Structure 1
Amino acid sequence: MNNTLFPIFLKTESARFLIVGGGNVGLEKTETLLRQNPFVAIKIIAKEIGHDLRQLLHKNPHVEWEERPFESHDLTDADFIIIATENAALNREIKQKANKEGILVNAADQPDLCDFYLGSIVNKGSLKIAISTNGKSPVLARRLREHLEEAIPDNINDSIENLNQFRAKHKGDIQTKISSLNKATAVLSDHAKTKKEGKKFKKLAFEIAVVFLAVFFGYSLSSLISVPTLTGYINEIPPAFYGMLLVGFFAQLVDGAVGLGYGVTCATAMMLFGIKLPAISGSIHTAEMFSSGISGFSHYKFGNVNKRLLFWLAIPGVIGAVFGALLLIYLGNKYETITYAVLATYTMIIGIRLIAIAFRKKIEKQKIKNTGILGFFGGLFDAFGGGGWGPIVTSTLLAKGRKSSYVIGTVSLAEFFVTLAASITFFASLGVSNWYIVLGLIIGGSMAAPLAARLAGKLQQKTAVLLVAFLVIVFSIRMLFKVF
């Protein structure tokens, strides 16, 4: 048997911990204990207390500490000992003396001296999960902890409290309570089974409906329009339409698989096709308006929208989008070459911003200031550059430590109003002469949507975002060379 560990959960209210060592390892072990119980009894003995640990001790005055060498009498009042020194001989000496006193020992990075391990711990209210690799790979344990912290919802504690109340109301022995609880939760598995069967039925019904509609409209169309007439109409379609099919397909593939980048991918690709600048942004926003509306409504329905944040993003965002659209129309018609250079530079900056997002570490929650200004400039640059609302607004809010579901839901719904305002402005000024561009983007995106959904989650988020950033930067640099 390779792993003989027996996991237990220790009540720390009455336990006394002795930590020997005041460096970075001592700091890490102290923080680990305080995260589980801010009032846990800890005593630290070290020849030298490091600066960061000293600051932590000032914030937690109940933690005892002495700056001196370890002595045998330090074991007197300890229940558990954590050794955090770099002196292997001293560590072994402390281990032997502690075991003689019947005290269990943990030694950092020395599994052979450990009577117990301090695993990576997931905390979600009353739910606590400890992860151990038997002392062989602390890095893997930490990565698993980070994954579970993201995967387990923050409101899991509500479910635990509800189940606890349900359990408390039911009388009888433990077997009776478990049977009752099994009956109550059986609906969950039944619901999942029913849901799965329902999905199969919906898929079959959808496929039959598509076939029927294709035959019905195909037959109806053939009776109204002859084949030569239809061929003539097809020949009149501008060649740019087929280019937009490819652009829409690729952009939706990227956005569906990665979760961002539709606008900026379309903009950089369309600039290389030589499409007029106002038509680029106007077409992108018209095509994106439908998807953002559906996405925003779905988030609102599932409670992922912060109404106060929506207000401070949407209204300034709409104003910024109108200004951005008008600015692009003016500059695009009068200073086309310069505007191409500005837009290519802007998309390249967005690409660099995406790289920063990919390497962003988990950040603690901070206060958000000037949300209206963020919404205004997000809408301004989004309308002017044909994309960038997500990379600018979403990344800024996430960088402040806000919960991702509320940020993405609120920003998605606000984006609908921003794209609507930009589209109305462009159409009021330019008309509908670029219908083939919009239609190409919509059809191409619709064709890519099922494939993009299958690709979602196949690539690591960091890898996927870096790939998008690389493509955007390369396209932008190529456009700059073309201009100059």
Structure 2
Amino acid sequence: MSNTLFPVFLKTETARFLIVGGGNVGLEKTETLLRQNPDVNITVVATQIFPELAEVISRHPQIQYHERPFEEADLEAADFVIAATNNRAVNAVIKQQANARHILVNAADQPELCDFYLGSIVNKGSLKIAISTNGKSPVLARRMREHLEEAIPDDINVSIDNLNAFRNKHKGSFQEKVADLNKITQTLSSNKSVKKPRNYQKLVLEISLLFAVFFIGYGISTVLSFNELKEHVIAIPNEFYAMLLVGFIAQLVDGAVGLGYGVTCAVSMMMFGVNLPSISGSIHTAEMFSSGVSGYSHYKFGNVNKKLLFWLIIPGVIGSFLGASLLIYLGNTYEIVTYAILSSYTLIIGIRLIIIAFRKKQPKGKVKRAGLLGFSGGFLDAFSGGGWGPIVTSSLLAKGRKSSYVVGTVSLAEFFVTLTAAITFFASLGVSHWYIVVGLIVGGIAAAPLAAKLAGKLPQKAALLAVAFLVIVFSVRIFLKMI
């Protein structure tokens, strides 16, 4: 048997923990214990206690600490010991002396010195799941914890409380309780009562192909004959190749960190003197294809939160339609006001993200008014040619949500938002600047799978800083334009 561990959930109300080491490892172990019980009994012994750990200790008066070397007498008031020094020899001595007193020891990154492991823990109310890889891969255990935290709903505790109340009120025998609980919960596994999840991959792919056939077919059949098409292929303008590169870079950035596509493309198209409605129409027509592939890729890599996706799509589509319609019929009347509001908001969000990126840990906050967020992002994105990423992605990351899930969910929702804007612009304006649109499409599609894979591996801090940088640059650019 390769894994002989026996999982045990320990009551910490009376347990006494001794942590030897005051650096980053000691801080991590202290925070791990405090997350399970803020009143847990901890003693920290270290030759030097880092400021971050000292700050944690100051917020928990029950924690005792001694800034000195470890002494064997420290074991007298300990039930469990965590050796968190960076000296393997010292950790080995601590284990030897602790085991002589029949005290179990955990040594950070030294499985051979461990009598027990501190696994990755999922907390959802009364539900607690501990994950261990037998000390071989803490990173995998952490990834599994992050996945389960996203997959298990926050209100699971309501179900647990309801089942507990039913069990307490049931007066029958243990076998009768089990039988009745099975009857109540059997619908959860019934194929008839469980709705089959929608295949977003297939839906996105089919809509993308359908729109592609319609777009290309329309252009060929009503605009160009075969000979004219041949001449145009030979005389493809240099702007097409420029837009090919722009589309690739823009989609790589957008798919990896969740924003930047519209901003990058809009700046490039302004260089060619394209008016605002045509800019927004061309961007959304091209972005529909790249966001479709990006959304498909994110869904394939498991980067989509379906519940959040639902609350973003419908309001986002409504906002996108209204924003595109307003831009078409009112032209540039409200351009300055829209840019001022958008740039002010995103500048504040960008600064806030930088602050969050350098915090030790950002607590996960509940996303409120996700529908309003989706509507605002869709409206301003369609009206100003960009804004879905700066508004929606930045706001969700500011709530401490995991970057890969935020980027994946926002990217898939963006497909439906850009599809709505593209259809609205196409119905009113037709196809203009086809070489720009095709260049953006081909470049964006090529970059989308690479960007989706990068989103799952990009560190949270790096993703936050990248988003903040793009948001601030975007905001400053708009302010300079308004001057």
Give the shorter-chain TM-score range: 0.5 to 0.7
Which residue of structure 2 aligns with residue 7 of structure 1?
A: 7
Please tell me whether the aligned partners of residues 320 and 379 of structure 1 are also in contact (alpha carbons under 8 angstroms).
no
Whether 1:145 aligns to 2:177 is no
Note the aligned Cα RMSD (angstroms). Answer: 6.3
Question: Does 2:388 match 1:390?
Answer: yes
Residue 117 of structure 1: SS of its match in structure 2?
A: coil
1:315 Cα deviation from its structure 2 partner: 11
Check if 1:67 corresponds to 2:83. no
Query: Paired residue for 1:401?
Result: 399
1:284-341 per-position Cα deviation (integer Å, ceiling 9, x unaligned): 59979x99xxxxxx9899667999x9xx999999999999843779xxxxxxxxxxxx
Alignment-mate amino acid for residue 13 of structure 2? E
- 1:121 is displaced (CA, Å) by 1.3
Contact between 2:309 and 2:413, CA under 8 Å: does it hold in 1? no
Q: Secondary structure at the match of 1:326?
A: coil
CA distance in 2: counterparts of 1:97 and 1:67, whole angstroms: 20
**Given that residues 21 and 85 in structure 1 are in contact (C-alpha distance below 8 angstroms), is that contact kept between their aligned partners in structure 2?**
yes
Q: CA deviation at 1:35?
A: 0.8
For residue 333 of structure 2, give the secondary structure of its aligned residue in structure 1.
helix
> What residue is the counterpart of 1:435 in the other structure?
430
Q: CA deviation at 1:49?
A: 2.1
1:136-183 per-position Cα deviation (integer Å, ceiling 9, x unaligned): 222222222222222322222222223222333333333322222222
Moved more, 91-100 or 6-15: 91-100
Aligned-partner Cα distance in 2 for 1:234–1:191? 51
How far is the alpha carbon of 1:33 from its aligned partner? 0.7
Distance in 1 (alpha carbons) for counterparts of 2:332 and 2:56: 52
Return the letter of the residue paired with 1:5.
L
| Corresponding position of 1:163 | 163
* Aligned-partner SS, 1:76: helix
Q: After the TM superposition, which residues 326-365 of structure 1 pair with which residues of structure 2 at under 5 Å, given as runs?
A: 326=333, 363-364=362-363
* CA pair 18-315 structure 1, distance change in 2 beyond 3 A: farther
Q: CA deviation at 1:367?
A: 12
- Cα distance, 1:15–1:383 mapped onto 2, change above 3 Å: same
| 8 Å CA contact 2:33, 2:40 repeated in 1 | yes
The equivalent residue for 2:278 is: 280
Structure 1 pair 386/177, CA: closer, same or farther in 2 (3 Å)? Answer: same
Give, in angstroms, the shift of residue 100 of structure 1.
2.1
Kept in 1, the 8 Å contact 2:320–2:379? The answer is no
Letter in 2 for 1:129: I
**Structure-1 residue corresponding to 2:216:** none
Partners of 2:162 and 2:450 in 1: CA distance: 34
1:4 Cα deviation after fit: 0.8
Q: How much has 1:439 moved relative to structure 2?
A: 12
Whether contact under 8 Å (1:317, 1:375) holds in the other structure is: no
Decide whether the 8 Å contact of 2:326 with 2:383 is kept in 1: no
> Match for residue 120 of structure 2?
120
* Alignment CA distance shift 1:47-1:287 (3 Å): closer
Q: Please state how far the C-alpha of 1:39 moved relative to its aligned partner.
A: 0.1
Separation (CA, whole Å) in 1 of partners of 2:365 and 2:131 = 29
Equivalent position SS for 2:3: coil
> What is residue 107 of structure 1 aligned with on the other side?
107
1:21 and 1:83 in contact (8 A); partners too: yes
Provide the C-alpha distance between the structure 2 equivalents of 1:197 and 1:57, rounded to a whole number of angstroms: 47
Secondary structure in structure 2 of the residue aligned to 1:130: strand
Q: Which amino acid aligns with 1:109?
A: D
| CA 1:267–1:95: 2 relative to 1, 3 Å | same
Judge conservation of contact 2:277–2:328 (CA < 8 Å) in 1: no
Distance 1:133 1:300 in 2: 31
Within 1, Cα distance between the matches of 2:40 and 2:270? Answer: 62
Q: How does 1:200-219 map to 2 (within 5 A)?
A: none
Identity of aligned residues (%): 46
Q: Once the 2 structures are TM-superposed, how far is the Cα of residue 423 of structure 1 from its aligned partner?
A: 10
Q: Which of the two has higher C-alpha Rg?
A: 1
Q: 111-120 vs 314-323, which deviates more?
A: 314-323
On the 8 A contact 1:105/1:114 being kept in 2, the answer is yes
The answer to whether the Cα contact below 8 Å between 2:320 and 2:382 also exists between their aligned partners in 1 is no
Structure 2: which amino acid aligns with 1:461? A
Cα offset, 1:12, TM superposition = 0.4
**1:13, CA displacement in angstroms?**
0.7
3-state DSSP of counterpart to 1:181: helix
Q: Does 1:28 align with 2:28?
A: yes
CA–CA separation in structure 2 for the residues paired with 1:314 and 1:101:
72
The verdict on how the C-alpha distance between 1:150 and 1:14 changes in structure 2, with shifts beyond 3 A counting, is same
TM-score normalised by L of structure 1: 0.58
Q: In 2, are the aligned partners of 1:287 and 1:441 still within 8 Å (CA)? A: no
CA drift at 1:383: 5.3
* Paired residue secondary structure (2:161): helix
1:404-462 CA deviation, whole Å, 9 max, x = no partner?
899979x979x979x88x999x99xxx94x334599999xxxxxxxx99x989984634
Distance in structure 1 (CA, Å) of the matches to 2:130 and 2:46: 28
Gaps of 5+ in 2: 211-219, 238-242, 290-305, 337-342, 438-444, 471-483
Task: Assess if the C-alpha contact under 8 Å between 1:284 and 1:386 holds in 2.
Answer: no
- C-alpha contact 2:312 2:375 (8 A) present in aligned 1: no
CA distance, structure 1, for counterparts of residue 198 and residue 28 of structure 2: 50
- For 2:186 and 2:69, locate their aligned partners in 1 and report how far apart those are by CA, in whole Å: 59
Deviation at 1:80, TM superposition (A): 0.8
Change in Cα spacing, 1:46 to 1:276, as seen in structure 2 (3 Å) is closer
| Cα distance in 1 between the residues matched to 2:222 and 2:124 | 61
2:188–2:194 contact (8 Å) kept in structure 1:
no
> Does 1:53 pair with 2:53?
yes
Q: Is the 8 A contact 1:47 1:69 kept in 2?
A: yes
Label 1:276 to 1:109 Cα distance change in 2 as closer, same or farther (>3 A): closer
The 3-state SS of whatever aligns with 1:86 is coil
- Cα deviation per residue 1:221-263 (whole Å; 9 max; x = unaligned)? xxxxxxxxxx9867689979xx9xxx9xx99x99999887775
Q: What amino acid is aligned across from residue 169 of structure 1 in structure 2? A: K
Q: Gapped runs of 5+ residues in structure 1?
A: 211-230, 292-297, 330-345, 443-450, 474-484
Residue 172 of structure 1: aligned partner: 172
Partner of 2:116: helix, strand, or coil? coil
**SS at 1:66 equivalent:** strand
Q: 2:137 and 2:108 mapped to 1: Cα distance?
A: 13
User: How many correspondences in the alignment?
Assistant: 392
Distance in 2, Cα, partners of 1:23 & 1:257: 36
Q: Distance in 2 between matches of 1:110 and 1:58?
A: 29
Q: Residues 324 and 382 of structure 2 are in contact (CA less than 8 Å); yes or no, is this contact kept in structure 1? A: no
Matched, 1:461 2:455: yes
State the SS of the aligned residue for 2:190. Answer: helix
8 Å CA contact 1:17, 1:79 repeated in 2: yes
